[in-house]
Amino acid sequence: MQGPPLSRWADHVRALPRARRDVLVALLVAAVSFTPGLADKGTVLGWLTPLRAFDLLAALLVLAHCAPLVVRGRAPALCLLLVSSAFFAYQYLGYRPTAASIALYLALYGAGAHQERFRRATAVTWVAVYLGVSIALVAAGSPFTVVEYLEFLALPAGCWLMGTATRSRLREQERQQERDLETAMREERERIARELHDVVTHHVTAMVMQADAAQYVPEADRAAVVGGLEAIGGTGRRALADLRDLLGVLAPAHDAPAAPRAPTAGLLGDLVERTRLTGQPVDVVRDGEPRQVDGIVELAAYRVVQEALTNALKHAPGRRTVVRVSHAVPDEVTVEVTTAGGPEPVPRPPESGRGLAGLRRRVSLVGGELTARRDDDGGFVLRARLPTRSGAV
């Protein structure tokens, strides 16, 4: 729903660059200063009688009030100097009130908001000049006393302080934006680190296991050795392809085709088959009718199985591992990987580092839950409950 026309116009003005806003403000003040019925509404600092008639010099001083406002944001000290000079000269010469006097308050606000260097010196100098002009006006016959001029000082001081408050608020907004950017960059680095961990750790572990297994193949069984070497080569090529895909997402070439889709739960069969080539016995059990699942949820499920199989290769080689994918609960997919126990319990992977800690964060980002526990027979169970529709932003 759109707001009233005046509100929409104000929003449009706020959306303009600062330089354009300053030009618009200067033109507006100048227009009001020469509009009948409004032109003589303004501050009278001296009230010297009789008031001088509005002449060419007065008109030039009014324009001298308005023109410096175009640099209010870029050169606030210069703007304040020029506007103040025109204001004090206009007041000392005893002209009638002018609406252009609002330019002084705008210049003071701008200096408080945008002045970067010598802020205290600027404020002290302006107050000193103001007191000198006040004394000169009293000497020239102004009906106001020095005390009244000191009381009036609260108005320009308030304008400066309002600008200072705006400056502080804008600075805090900038700092918050920097903090948000740093947080986003840190989270993105963590995400990239998780992807690299998932890709490199699994493939390198599989290659090491395949290479170790080849050492125990009898020399007469050359076909088995060749098969093992082919499996190592295939795993290495797969690792390189996954790394190229990840790097293509991070820094895509302008003329390169789009990076392939990330591995998902639909490719679990390929992941399981590559693990079996290392000699690790892996079974897959599916429960329920498969449902449509968000891509980010599929990727999380894939990484859960990948991490569990990698841990099984490292900590429980040769022990039976069962991958169970269940769609029994509506709007939910459950992935459970169980590695059987043996004479020695399966070591629990560390919670720190890039393994389970990164996996737990990945699962939580899509609105799921990850649990890791030891089985009764000494085995290890990694279980993830994932929604079919991601809750990640």
Partners of 380 in beta bridges: 339, 374
Summarised one tens digit per residue, pLDDT across range 102-113 is 999 999 999 999
pLDDT > 70: what percent of the chain? 73
Confidence of residue 51 (pLDDT cuts 50, 70, 90): confident
Residue 285 has φ and ψ, to the nearest 5°, of -125, 130
Mean pLDDT computed over 218-231: 59
pLDDT > 90: what percent of the chain? 30
Confidence of residue 20 (pLDDT cuts 50, 70, 90): confident
Q: Which residue type, as a one-letter code, is found at position 391? A: G
Q: How far is 117 from 119, CA to CA, in rounded Å?
A: 5
User: If we measure between CA atoms, which residue out of 43, 15, 13 comes closest to residue 28?
Assistant: 13
Q: Which residue type, as a one-letter code, is found at position 162? A: M
Summarised one tens digit per residue, pLDDT across range 285-319 is 988 888 888 888 888 888 889 888 888 887 888 88
Q: How far is 66 from 58, CA to CA, in rounded Å?
A: 13
Q: How far, CA to CA in Å, does 229 sit from each of 66, 206, 224, 234?
A: 83, 12, 9, 9
Summarised one tens digit per residue, pLDDT across range 235-288 is 666 666 666 666 665 555 544 454 444 555 557 888 888 788 777 889 999 888
Lowest mean pLDDT among 134-138, 290-294, 328-332: 290-294
Mean pLDDT computed over 386-393: 71
pLDDT at 2: 47
Compare 278 and 71 and report the one with higher pLDDT.
Answer: 71
